[in-house]
Structure 1
Amino acid sequence: MPVTTLLVLADPADPYLPLLDPIRDRVDLVIGADAASLAPAASRAEAMLAWNIRKADLEAILPLAAHLRWMHVRWAGLDSLLFPALVASPVVITNSRGVYSQSLGEFVMAGALFFAKDIRRLLRDQEGHRWSPFTMLELRGATMGIVGYGDIGRACATRAHAMGMRVLAQRRRPERASGDPLLDRAYGPDGLLDMIRECDYVVAAAPLTPETKGMIGAREIAAMKPSAVLMNVGRGPVIDEDSLVDALRSRRIRGAALDVFSKEPLPPDHPLFEFDNVLLSPHCADNTPNWNEDAMHFFLANFDRFLRGEPLENIVDKHAGY
């Protein structure tokens, strides 16, 4: 017999929903594309999977779901989802952080290698049939500084450390990095400028919160070495985009490798498309062939924990926003 009611906010035709079939004999599974279709079952629901995330639907469902104890979100970032009533409620929220981190770590290393080996120049010379040797840089011995040392930051650190790089990190609670074999040093919030000054590559991997919005702005970019590269695989607004555009246009820094932006899709007339010192990804660095399956399998493992009354993984601090 079903032991609970699970609401699934998703298009019923979503191709990944059949992955829920193994739990159908253990749960009253109610799937709906919007709040209206889930409303009749909301009063008896104890758990919810937000496979599609629409804040308006969640705002409509929450008052109806008096027995809701747990909500799992397919994505890692919650900046566009949280609202005061949800934050104040007793509902535990988990997310899918970690599912996407490995691919984002690879993108960061691709960005570092793109500039260290001047891949743009290599492609230009190849297309122009020019044989023009030049001096390439090594990543070994270079310094990478990571702003936001969560799962994405650690994925970057793992790869940078393996390449022989010196790895620094800035995080809200640097004491938690004590003894971390991947890091040469951890900085607190007040140490961001000091860290940036040392870096050849600065990686923004922080979630978007009121505290992190614009945290890498004109002052921070001015503190970078002229030879340094800024990369963003966290949230677009963590970097002040106007300040970055100014620095790239004037070649105040060497370049940028970006997967996320303040406005998406990036408008076709945006200057970032024109700069030859930018590696631009249309927010697809974590769009791997298996990410949806991985996200669903993570949820199913957490659902088993929920049914057994065990601690859930990836519990979100609703007040911190991640």
Structure 2
Amino acid sequence: MPASSIVDVLRKSENSIILPHVQADGDALCSSLALAMALKRLNNNAILYLEEEIPRVYSFLPGRDLIKVYSNEVVSPGTVIAVDTGDLERLGKRISMFRDARITVNIDHHPTNTYFAGINYVLPGSSAVGEIIYGLIGMMGVKLDKDISTCLYVAIATDTGGFRYANTTSRTHEIVADLVNAGVNISEISSKIFDSISLGKLKLMGAAINSLELLDGGRIAFITITEKTIRVAGASEDECEGIVNLGKNLQGVEIAVLFREKNGEVKVSLRSNSDADVSIIAGKYGGGGHKNAAGCVVKGELEYVKRRIEADLKA
């Protein structure tokens, strides 16, 4: 659907609910916040529903007053907007809010998106959903301010790995320049999201390194985190974000995998430094993502899941 049609729907909506994917990362959360603040400017009663508390690393973000944690409440939404969500199941318990909506919108950049909404706006060439929201906000006629720009900057910076990943384009830098001109403080934000970690996360990183397994001559790196690992470290669930990069950044590693055990299932995060398309493997288990970054959830015992993924990677 053309961008103008999406903008028309957003401008006419009076009550919107915004849903980033479960365990929202920087792009999902901050893109949603930027959109919510922009819609508020158009007198839209926009609310952002999360399935969990906001991750501690993002507790400084503006617009937090627009966030509610979902608790099975019954609402009658007019328009529901899924953000950075590759498929409907990634909405978790909030899926009923989406299904009950009069108008459903899907804004995403994953190539594996399943186009599950009535209105779908999917741009796989975008480095982050933050880039897409930036464009829509401009078309909506909302002027960028420091708060909206800060959220968009965090969205883009986190999904590009601080502008180091291959998804970073010249367009990415053009957008960031506009955000900086609107008041974004790069040094302050970078310090908070990239350079500051809690003691719990530091201990979690240590445990993750101790769990490291190198396979296939060092080409594949496995890292494992269990519920006990998180508890002993004194970390929070959201502080697992980025742990997979400990394996990805190791010299000689082409594919890194993080296994997170919880409640009889394993969340698998895959990263690739090579031409290997890890979204294909994630897709075998109902997941998805990008060529170099994908994920899925697999039911079963931890060691069983690890051996299945190992076999897939070596096939």
Larger relative contact order, structure 1 or 2 (CA cutoff 8 Å, min sep 6): 1
TM-score band by shorter chain is 0.3 to 0.5
Please state which structure has a larger fraction of its residues in strand.
Answer: 2
Q: Return the index of the structure with the highest Cα Rg.
A: 1
Instruction: Give the TM-score of the pair, scaled to structure 1.
Output: 0.32
TM-score (norm 2): 0.32
More helix by share: 2
